[in-house]
Amino acid sequence: MTDEEADDWNPHSRLCIARLRDHGVDMTGFAQTRELLPVPDIPGYRTLKCDFHLHTVFSDGDVWPTTRITEAWRDGLDAISFADHSDYNPHSDDVKNDPARAYELALPAAETLGIILIPGIEVGEDDLHCNALFITDSHSLRGGKLIETLQKARSQDAFVFWNHPGWKQPAEWFPLIADAYNAKLIQGMELVNGNSFYPEAYRWVEEKKLTILANSDAHEPVPQACAGGLRPITLVFARTADRAGIREALSARRTAAWMGGEVWGDESLLKMLWEAAVKVEGKERDLKPGGPPVGVRLRNDSAIPFRLHIGKGPDWLLGVQGDVLLPGQKAIEGPLSAAANAPAGRQRVEIEMEIKNLHVAPGRNLTVRLPLSLVLSQ
């Protein structure tokens, strides 16, 4: 991107471009547009879009740390964390073998672009890996067995989650994980890692009171086509849009996992998310009993598409039933009509709906009632 091209780039100007260059960000071919990826706030909380599992050349990733910042900005994220391995760096002949260096290099660019960067590290034993976020001394977490390392992470008040529980083998509540959990060393779990969802692990979320996470675990550059699509995102419902707000929300289990068109989370949180995202356009609809149908528009202000199964309302209310797709950031319209025996006057009715892609427990989806205000006149 040239300085001239930056003139019309909102919200960042030539000064922003110059600062990024000063921090070592290669601006050649940098995307000029940001995928807004709107997801509404819910009452009392800000909805932040996060990816807490990214790798750089300082472990086994293929990109420079600042590239992860520009990818996150492009894809509409609010916060990310690097999870470079504590003891594995195949690029050590070319870059300093320092687990804290990626964070140090990327922080100025993150601050320039408004991305919340959280210090983190990936630690493990054999094929069982965990990420520790909000660490203060990554060097002390290198080497040693998993339990010992997680104890050191706890002394730094880290938030720890279990990575890809079904990696290389079906997910089980492995003895080592059980020991770490029983010692209160693990607080969360990746229900989604990359394009993998672990159904066998889903029941542990509520049984063990674990925080749900969805992360990319990206090693290669994240292609732009993943924005709002295949790239998984942890939705964090935070009191404040900053590092402290994210830390508190993770501890309080106020998160949801979003991958493609699927979302997994607590029922009360997903209900608030649905209510914040979807509105019936217009206040009232005039219907004539036995008369022609009128259109009712349902608007989705979020980037999350919703798959609806529309059930019945009152027996006298006739309209669309069955499966309907409500795309992200779009509106759909369906016909409603009243049977000849419909009661006259102003009626407030509710239509039962199952939101088939909002999952609140294994085998159970969110159910809601869509309120409608109708005026029936002869």
Give me the CATH number covering residue 240.
3.20.20.140
80 domain-assigned: yes
- Residue at 59 is within a domain: yes
Residue 159, SS3 per DSSP: strand
127 shares a domain with 208: yes
77 residue type, one letter: L
Query: Is residue 357 included in any domain, yes or no?
Result: yes
Q: Which two tokens stand for residue 297?
A: 């528009």
* Residue 352 sits in the same domain as residue 227: no
Among residues 218, 233, 265, which one ends one of the domains?
265
Whether 26 is in a domain gets the answer no
Q: How many domains are contained in the chain?
A: 2
Q: Residues 130, 236: one domain?
A: yes
- Region 320-332: what's the mean pLDDT? 94
Mean pLDDT, rounded, for 214-240 = 86
Please say whether the beta carbons of 129 and 168 come within 8 A.
Answer: no
The reply to whether 287 and 175 lie within a common domain is no
Looking at the fold, whether 250 and 334 belong to one and the same domain comes out as no
Q: Are residues 64 and 112 in the same domain?
A: yes
Give the model confidence (pLDDT) of 46-97 as tens digits: 999 999 999 999 999 999 999 999 999 999 999 999 999 988 888 888 888 7
Does 79 share its domain with 207? yes
- Show which of 265, 292, 312 is a domain's final residue: 265
On the question of pLDDT at 14 being above 60, the answer is no
Please tell me the predicted confidence (pLDDT) of residue 53: 98
Q: Which domain holds residue 210?
A: 34-265
- How confident is residue 181, by pLDDT bands cut at 50, 70 and 90? very high
Given this model, what pLDDT does residue 20 score?
A: 60
Task: Quickly count: other Cβ atoms within 10 Å of residue 242's Cβ.
Answer: 14
pLDDT at 28: 47
CATH code of the domain covering residue 288: 2.60.40.10
Output the six-digit token pair for 229: 């699509």
- pLDDT digit string (tens) for 350-377? 999 999 999 999 999 999 999 999 999 8
Residue 193 Cα distances to 53, 166, 283, 304, angstroms? 9, 9, 42, 19
Q: Which residue has the higher pLDDT, 285 or 254?
A: 254
Residue 6 pLDDT class (50, 70, 90 cuts):
very low
Check whether residue 97 and residue 238 sit in a common domain: yes
In a domain, 350, yes or no: yes
Buried b (16+ CB within 10 A) or exposed e, 153-187: bbeeebbbbbbbbbbeeebeeeeebeebbeeebbb
Q: Which of 232, 265, 298 is the last residue of a domain?
A: 265
Distance of CA 106 to the CA centre of its chain: 22
19 within domain boundaries: no
- 17 assigned to some structural domain: no
Structure confidence by residue, pLDDT tens digits, 109-128: 999 999 999 999 999 999 99
Same domain, 261 and 152: yes
In a domain, 342, yes or no: yes
In this structure, the answer to whether residues 85 and 200 fall within a common structural domain is yes
298 and 260 belong to one structural domain: no
DSSP letters, 18-63, are: HHHHHTT---TT--S---------BTTBEEEEEEEEE--TTTT-SS
286 in the same domain as 167: no
